């Protein structure tokens, strides 16, 4: 099993450009999520999905879109990149998000710089 | 919304010394998880605590969940260079539809 696969590993964008960060998991996990990690701020939830066709906003959703057309894939779209979106992005999945949270499996991350 | 604070933010210890990081939540938690992130890596799940007052051990690591289920700690005995990294707690509230909220993390460096 590959686990959670994120691409690309690194990306540099100019302000106003758009792009999609890819995330795929092969563990048949119901729950998938996107986090951003900034120094001193821990991991903040951007968007999440509890199953195919279902998405919802997390703590910091502005400027990002997601979709979940299949159980395996959960891409994150930056609509119009801004310097404030410079960060490390992690995709994470877990078996379920019911009652007690299941352990999260993280991808290797995407380091995004917006100039 | 739910807030999870973690202290200290940084900790430098001599190899062989003990290390403790503390996690405090503004709300009662249904469970708490701990993750370790090596420099340049991604968070890796260590353990989950569910019961009030629960204590779990993994070799030199001891995890505790407070009686009120609002705080937790991770204690490492006799640190080694392999313990370097950032340790995060993450808690899920007992109420509503709160998602897992991560603490700000404690970055541990070891002085050989």
Say what percent of chain B tops pLDDT 70. Answer: 95
> Tokens 């202290």, residue?
B7
pLDDT tens figures, A52-66: 999 999 999 999 999
**CB-based contact B16:B79 (threshold 8 Å):** yes
* Contact with chain B for residue A101, Cβ under 8 A: yes
Reported as half-sphere exposure (CB side, CA atoms, 13 A), residue A59 has a value of 17
- Give the least confident one: A39-48, A104-113, B55-64, B94-103: B94-103
Alpha-carbon distance of A94 to A97, in angstroms, equals: 7
**Whole-number pLDDT of residue A42:** 87
CA nearest B109: which of B77, B84, B76? B84
pLDDT tens figures, B13-66: 999 999 999 999 999 999 999 999 999 999 999 999 999 999 999 999 999 999
Q: Per DSSP, what are the bridge partners of residue B7?
A: B22
Looking at the predicted structure, is the pLDDT value of residue A100 above 70? no
**CB-CB under 8 Å, A101 with B35:** no
d(CA A59, nearest CA chain B) in Å: 9
């Amino acid at each position: 099993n590959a686990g959670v696969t994120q691409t690309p590993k690194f990306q540099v964008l100019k302000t106003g450009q758009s792009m999609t960060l890819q995330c795929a998991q092969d563990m048949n996990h119901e729950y998938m999520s996107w986090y951003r990690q900034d120094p001193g701020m821990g991991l903040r939830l951007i968007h999440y999905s509890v199953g195919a066709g279902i998405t919802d906003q997390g703590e910091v959703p502005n400027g990002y879109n997601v979709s979940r057309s299949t159980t395996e894939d959960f891409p994150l779209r930056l609509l119009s990149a801004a310097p404030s979106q410079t960060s490390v992005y992690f995709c994470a999945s877990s078996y379920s998000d019911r009652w007690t949270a299941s352990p999260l499996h993280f991808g290797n991350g995407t380091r995004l710089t917006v100039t | 919304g739910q807030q999870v604070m973690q202290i200290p933010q940084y900790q430098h210890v001599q190899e062989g010394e003990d290390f403790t990081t503390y996690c405090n939540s503004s709300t009662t938690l249904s469970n708490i998880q701990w993750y370790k992130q090596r420099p340049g890596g991604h968070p890796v799940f260590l353990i989950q605590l569910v019961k009030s007052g629960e204590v779990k051990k993994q070799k030199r690591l001891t995890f505790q969940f407070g009686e009120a289920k609002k705080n937790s700690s991770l204690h490492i005995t006799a640190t080694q260079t392999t313990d370097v990294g950032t340790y995060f707690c993450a808690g899920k509230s007992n109420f509503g539809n709160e998602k897992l909220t991560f603490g700000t993390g404690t970055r541990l460096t070891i002085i050989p």
